[in-house]
Structure 1
Amino acid sequence: MIEKFLDGNKRFLEEDFAKDPEHYGPLASSQHPTVLWIGCSDSRVNPERITGAKAGEVFVQRNIGNIVPVHDWNFATVLEYALNHLKVGDIVICGHSDCGAIKGLDHESTDAYIPLWLNNAMEAKRRVDGRMQVPKNPEEEKIRRRLIEIENVGLQLEHLRTYPPVKAAEKEGRVRLHGLYFDLATGELKKIF
């Protein structure tokens, strides 16, 4: 597999990098992204690919379930750097269909870390389950899961607003927050919040 990646890099060098030195040259010494993208680690949801963004346009933080953990030092450093040093003007939280993290909310696990991490999304499941009947068939279960995926984006926006750098930047009008949802079946990216 690594050989495939190295071959892919050769194609990138020939077909993209070498043909656009005006874009890639300055990126060798600095970056000026305009967006902080908080997305899922899912291999099917590559932010640059699904948005058509070029290298240097998006500062990316990905994790299982596009989660914004409350009081997390690692996550806080990403926010602080994006807002205070890169001066991004937009923060996106992007959820997606067929999310394994959301599926995991319904299952007991013997894993050591995943259940603890997923607790950061459990409130989204509670909210959806509190306003709908128990699904009676696979189609209703699919609808329920999609509603939880969407609710989770909203919940993570709430979590994002608990961080002081975000609160200050939003209050001062330096940043706008957005919730997006990517449908794997259709390839469509929609604004939901």
Structure 2
Amino acid sequence: MAAWQMLRRLRPAAGLGRNCRSFGSPPFFPNSWVEPDALWEFHDQCERTDVAKLVDSEAWELGDRNQVWRKQMMEKDPEFFDKIGKAQSPDYLWIGCSDSRVAAENLIGGKPGELFTHRNIANMVVATDTNMRSVLQYAVDYLKVRHIVVCGHYDCGGVKAAVTRNDHSLPLESWLSHVRDVYRMHKGELEAIDCEHERHKRLVELNVIEQCLNLFKTSDVQRRRQYTASRPDEFPCALPRIHGMVFSPGDGILRNLKIDFKDKLGDFLDIYNLYDDPSLENSARLDKSVQDKNAGPGLLFEEKAIKK
């Protein structure tokens, strides 16, 4: 007996569908059972319609836009594709939000090859997220990036959703719980802010700070920082540097958050430090302009003195 036939027998006699989530009734066909053959037939019929082709053409336009972009790049720099066709060597790992308005290269006027990028909802650094951890490991161990930037943004839908009393269902609900944890840790400060808009902005900033701290917890970052800090003749300070930033879609400004990591990591390292030498003293040699809250992004992204 086929698997779908066995599931069909499990379906109650009547009345169960979307609301009850029965095994026998898929949620997209409430109160009915559709056999697999019928599903494929339905799908095949849809694919043959002119409407489906019209909808598909929306994606086909991306290819046309690619040709326009390619021509523009070739006109600006005939060797452009020869350059980016070579191995990458970015200085920065950028951990940002998946929001379509905040693509990293757009925010800094970046070029291909400048940023190694990871994006997820609400720019989270979650220890159990193998996707993020694999990106981090590759960036730190193989690309040997000098900087890691965690960039949040105001008007973040993920942050807003996390503080609403709604069940967003798995896996989104599980993901947003990490933002709720940030709210819980800073509840006193946040609830002292009367303006809902300002409270949201502060939560965005606190979330960025907590994700930066989460980076310090990882073995990848600690191992690399310990290695570089123990070799002052080769490296002027512990690398990679970690930076928290927030982008404002309303005015286009990318703001550096003034984060005193040495202060925040005092008791923190007693629990999370994996090496005898946390290298925090050597971290103080970093140019203070990088941590200037009022500095523009250029101070960070134009700094080229630190060698890999």
Cα distance, 1:133–1:29 mapped onto 2, change above 3 Å: closer
Partner of 1:48, secondary structure, is: helix
CA deviation after TM superposition for structure 1 residue 123, in Å: 2.6
Conserved 8 A contact 2:148-2:242: yes
- The alignment of Structure 1 onto Structure 2 pairs a total of residues equal to 190
- Is residue 92 of structure 1 aligned with residue 92 of structure 2? no
CA deviation after TM superposition for structure 1 residue 130, in Å: 1.5
Describe the superposition over 1:39-86 as per-residue Cα deviations: whole angstroms up to 9, x where unpaired: 000000010011111001100000000000123222211111001111
Pick from 54, 75, 81 the counterpart of residue 24 of structure 1.
81
Quote the Cα distance in structure 2 between the aligned partners of 1:27 and 1:176.
Answer: 25
TM, length-normalised to structure 1: 0.91
RMSD of Structure 2 on Structure 1 (CA):
1.7
- Is residue 115 of structure 1 aligned with residue 197 of structure 2? no
Quote the Cα distance in structure 2 between the aligned partners of 1:110 and 1:58.
Answer: 32
- The one-letter amino acid of 2:246's match is Y
- Is residue 141 of structure 1 aligned with residue 196 of structure 2? yes
- Is residue 130 of structure 1 aligned with residue 188 of structure 2? yes
CA deviation after TM superposition for structure 1 residue 163, in Å: 0.9
Pick from 72, 75, 78 the counterpart of residue 135 of structure 2.
78
Moved more, 161-170 or 37-46: 161-170
Moved more, 66-75 or 167-176: 167-176
Pick from 46, 50, 55 the counterpart of residue 107 of structure 2.
50
- Is residue 164 of structure 1 aligned with residue 222 of structure 2? no
Cα distance, 1:190–1:146 mapped onto 2, change above 3 Å: same
Conserved 8 A contact 1:121-1:155: no
Larger Rg: 2
Conserved 8 A contact 1:38-1:62: yes
Partner of 1:36, secondary structure, is: strand
Cα distance, 1:169–1:21 mapped onto 2, change above 3 Å: farther
Conserved 8 A contact 2:190-2:202: no
- The one-letter amino acid of 2:241's match is R
Moved more, 67-76 or 150-159: 67-76
- The one-letter amino acid of 1:184's match is P
Conserved 8 A contact 2:162-2:180: yes
User: Going by fraction, where is strand more abundant, 1 or 2?
Assistant: 1
Q: Counterpart of 2:117?
A: 60
CA deviation after TM superposition for structure 1 residue 13, in Å: 0.7
Pick from 241, 249, 256 the counterpart of residue 184 of structure 1.
249
Describe the superposition over 1:151-193 as per-residue Cα deviations: whole angstroms up to 9, x where unpaired: 0000101111111011122333121000010001001001013
CA deviation after TM superposition for structure 1 residue 145, in Å: 0.4
CA deviation after TM superposition for structure 1 residue 5, in Å: 1.6
List structure 1 segments (4+ residues) > 4 angstroms apart after TM superposition: none
Conserved 8 A contact 2:163-2:180: no
TM, length-normalised to structure 2: 0.58
CA deviation after TM superposition for structure 1 residue 134, in Å: 6.2
Cα distance, 1:183–1:110 mapped onto 2, change above 3 Å: closer
Cα distance, 1:132–1:78 mapped onto 2, change above 3 Å: closer
Conserved 8 A contact 1:35-1:89: yes
CA deviation after TM superposition for structure 1 residue 18, in Å: 5.0
